[in-house]
Amino acid sequence: MKKYFFLLVFTLSSIVAFSQDNVTTYYLIRHAEKDRTDKANKNPNLKEKGEKRAKKWAEVFKDVNFDLVYATNYNRTQQTAAPTAKSKKLKVLAYNPNKLFNKEFQKATKGKTVLVVGHSNTTPMLANKILNKEKYKFINDHNNANLYIITIIDNVKNSILLKID
Protein backbone atom coordinates (compact mmCIF):
# COMPACT_ATOMS: atom_id res chain seq x y z
CA MET A 1 0.00 0.00 0.00
CA LYS A 2 2.83 2.41 0.85
CA LYS A 3 4.50 1.97 -2.53
CA TYR A 4 1.19 2.77 -4.24
CA PHE A 5 0.79 5.85 -2.09
CA PHE A 6 4.24 7.12 -3.07
CA LEU A 7 3.51 6.36 -6.73
CA LEU A 8 0.26 8.29 -6.43
CA VAL A 9 2.02 11.24 -4.77
CA PHE A 10 4.69 11.19 -7.49
CA THR A 11 2.01 11.20 -10.19
CA LEU A 12 0.15 14.05 -8.53
CA SER A 13 3.28 16.13 -7.97
CA SER A 14 4.31 15.78 -11.60
CA ILE A 15 0.91 17.06 -12.67
CA VAL A 16 1.19 20.14 -10.46
CA ALA A 17 4.25 21.28 -12.39
CA PHE A 18 2.07 22.10 -15.43
CA SER A 19 -0.46 24.83 -15.98
CA GLN A 20 -3.92 23.65 -14.94
CA ASP A 21 -5.47 24.58 -18.29
CA ASN A 22 -3.18 22.11 -20.05
CA VAL A 23 -3.78 19.21 -17.66
CA THR A 24 -6.81 16.95 -17.49
CA THR A 25 -6.73 14.13 -14.96
CA TYR A 26 -9.19 11.26 -14.73
CA TYR A 27 -9.44 8.94 -11.74
CA LEU A 28 -11.48 5.93 -12.75
CA ILE A 29 -12.77 3.32 -10.31
CA ARG A 30 -15.29 0.54 -10.36
CA HIS A 31 -18.15 0.60 -7.86
CA ALA A 32 -17.53 -1.00 -4.47
CA GLU A 33 -18.82 -4.44 -3.45
CA LYS A 34 -22.50 -4.84 -4.25
CA ASP A 35 -25.15 -6.90 -2.49
CA ARG A 36 -25.44 -10.16 -4.44
CA THR A 37 -28.16 -11.81 -2.32
CA ASP A 38 -30.99 -11.14 -4.78
CA LYS A 39 -29.76 -12.41 -8.17
CA ALA A 40 -32.78 -10.89 -9.94
CA ASN A 41 -32.05 -7.36 -8.65
CA LYS A 42 -30.40 -5.43 -11.50
CA ASN A 43 -29.83 -2.36 -9.32
CA PRO A 44 -28.47 -3.57 -5.97
CA ASN A 45 -27.12 -1.38 -3.21
CA LEU A 46 -23.65 -1.75 -1.75
CA LYS A 47 -23.21 -4.34 0.93
CA GLU A 48 -21.50 -3.39 4.20
CA LYS A 49 -18.04 -4.19 2.82
CA GLY A 50 -18.81 -1.96 -0.18
CA GLU A 51 -19.91 0.91 2.04
CA LYS A 52 -16.60 0.64 3.89
CA ARG A 53 -14.69 0.64 0.61
CA ALA A 54 -16.61 3.72 -0.61
CA LYS A 55 -15.53 5.54 2.56
CA LYS A 56 -11.97 4.30 2.03
CA TRP A 57 -11.96 5.77 -1.49
CA ALA A 58 -12.90 9.13 0.03
CA GLU A 59 -9.92 8.74 2.36
CA VAL A 60 -7.59 7.77 -0.51
CA PHE A 61 -8.75 10.85 -2.43
CA LYS A 62 -8.65 13.28 0.52
CA ASP A 63 -5.78 15.29 -1.00
CA VAL A 64 -7.12 15.26 -4.57
CA ASN A 65 -8.93 18.45 -5.57
CA PHE A 66 -11.68 17.07 -7.77
CA ASP A 67 -13.63 19.45 -9.94
CA LEU A 68 -16.24 16.90 -10.98
CA VAL A 69 -17.52 13.50 -9.81
CA TYR A 70 -19.41 11.24 -12.21
CA ALA A 71 -21.15 7.90 -11.71
CA THR A 72 -23.54 5.83 -13.76
CA ASN A 73 -27.16 6.00 -12.69
CA TYR A 74 -27.07 2.82 -10.58
CA ASN A 75 -27.32 2.58 -6.79
CA ARG A 76 -23.92 0.90 -6.41
CA THR A 77 -22.00 3.52 -8.42
CA GLN A 78 -23.83 6.47 -6.91
CA GLN A 79 -23.23 5.06 -3.40
CA THR A 80 -19.53 4.50 -4.17
CA ALA A 81 -19.09 8.07 -5.40
CA ALA A 82 -21.13 9.71 -2.63
CA PRO A 83 -18.55 9.80 0.23
CA THR A 84 -15.88 11.35 -2.00
CA ALA A 85 -18.29 13.84 -3.55
CA LYS A 86 -19.63 14.80 -0.13
CA SER A 87 -16.12 15.34 1.24
CA LYS A 88 -15.39 17.66 -1.71
CA LYS A 89 -18.79 19.40 -1.53
CA LEU A 90 -19.58 18.24 -5.06
CA LYS A 91 -22.68 16.74 -6.61
CA VAL A 92 -22.44 13.28 -8.20
CA LEU A 93 -23.24 13.77 -11.88
CA ALA A 94 -24.79 10.89 -13.79
CA TYR A 95 -23.24 9.78 -17.06
CA ASN A 96 -24.39 7.36 -19.70
CA PRO A 97 -21.88 4.51 -20.08
CA ASN A 98 -23.02 4.06 -23.70
CA LYS A 99 -21.71 7.54 -24.52
CA LEU A 100 -18.22 7.16 -23.14
CA PHE A 101 -15.87 10.06 -23.69
CA ASN A 102 -18.02 11.85 -26.23
CA LYS A 103 -17.31 15.46 -27.26
CA GLU A 104 -19.63 16.88 -24.62
CA PHE A 105 -17.89 14.92 -21.84
CA GLN A 106 -14.44 15.89 -23.16
CA LYS A 107 -15.42 19.57 -23.25
CA ALA A 108 -16.92 19.46 -19.73
CA THR A 109 -13.82 17.79 -18.25
CA LYS A 110 -10.99 19.52 -20.15
CA GLY A 111 -8.46 21.02 -17.75
CA LYS A 112 -10.18 19.45 -14.76
CA THR A 113 -9.56 16.71 -12.22
CA VAL A 114 -12.38 14.20 -12.47
CA LEU A 115 -13.51 11.08 -10.62
CA VAL A 116 -15.56 8.61 -12.66
CA VAL A 117 -17.21 5.62 -10.98
CA GLY A 118 -18.29 2.86 -13.32
CA HIS A 119 -18.50 -0.89 -13.71
CA SER A 120 -16.26 -3.89 -14.46
CA ASN A 121 -16.69 -3.31 -18.19
CA THR A 122 -17.29 0.44 -18.48
CA THR A 123 -14.31 1.55 -16.39
CA PRO A 124 -11.58 -0.09 -18.52
CA MET A 125 -13.57 0.79 -21.68
CA LEU A 126 -13.52 4.46 -20.65
CA ALA A 127 -9.78 4.28 -19.89
CA ASN A 128 -9.17 2.79 -23.33
CA LYS A 129 -11.38 5.39 -25.00
CA ILE A 130 -9.52 8.26 -23.30
CA LEU A 131 -6.15 6.73 -24.22
CA ASN A 132 -7.37 5.91 -27.74
CA LYS A 133 -5.91 2.41 -27.49
CA GLU A 134 -6.85 -1.00 -26.12
CA LYS A 135 -4.67 -1.12 -23.03
CA TYR A 136 -7.00 -2.40 -20.29
CA LYS A 137 -9.21 -5.51 -20.10
CA PHE A 138 -12.52 -5.86 -18.30
CA ILE A 139 -12.20 -6.08 -14.53
CA ASN A 140 -12.90 -9.40 -12.77
CA ASP A 141 -16.37 -9.26 -11.26
CA HIS A 142 -14.99 -9.59 -7.72
CA ASN A 143 -12.28 -6.92 -8.12
CA ASN A 144 -13.39 -3.59 -6.69
CA ALA A 145 -9.91 -2.22 -6.00
CA ASN A 146 -8.58 -0.91 -9.32
CA LEU A 147 -7.71 2.75 -9.68
CA TYR A 148 -6.88 4.03 -13.15
CA ILE A 149 -5.24 7.45 -13.27
CA ILE A 150 -5.05 9.03 -16.70
CA THR A 151 -3.44 12.39 -17.36
CA ILE A 152 -3.61 14.39 -20.52
CA ILE A 153 -0.97 17.11 -20.67
CA ASP A 154 -0.93 19.12 -23.89
CA ASN A 155 -2.53 16.15 -25.71
CA VAL A 156 0.07 13.67 -24.37
CA LYS A 157 -1.75 10.85 -22.58
CA ASN A 158 -0.32 8.75 -19.74
CA SER A 159 -1.95 6.21 -17.47
CA ILE A 160 -1.25 4.07 -14.48
CA LEU A 161 -3.26 1.26 -12.90
CA LEU A 162 -3.08 0.85 -9.13
CA LYS A 163 -4.80 -1.64 -6.88
CA ILE A 164 -5.97 -0.12 -3.60
CA ASP A 165 -7.07 -2.87 -1.19
Contacts of 71 (CB under 8 A, 6+ apart): 31, 77, 78, 80, 81, 92, 93, 94, 95, 116, 117, 118
pLDDT at 98: 85
Q: Which domain holds residue 112?
A: 2-34+43-163
Calculate the average pLDDT of the chain. 90
Question: How many domains are contained in the chain?
Answer: 1
Does 18 have pLDDT greater than 50?
no
Q: What tens digit of pLDDT does each residue of 66-75 get?
A: 999 999 999 9
* CATH code where residue 30 lies: 3.40.50.1240
**β pairing state of 113-118 and 23-30:** parallel
Is 28 strand, coil or helix? Answer: strand
End-to-end CA, the chain: 8
Calculate mean pLDDT across residues 68-90. Answer: 98
Does 150 have pLDDT greater than 60?
yes
Task: Give the chain's radius of gyration (CA, Å).
Answer: 15
Three-point CA angle 127, 28, 144, nearest 5°: 110
Does 8 have pLDDT greater than 60?
no
pLDDT at 15: 47
Q: If pLDDT is split at 50, 70 and 90, which confidence band does 165 have?
A: confident
Q: What tens digit of pLDDT does each residue of 109-142 get?
A: 999 999 999 999 999 999 999 999 999 999 999 9
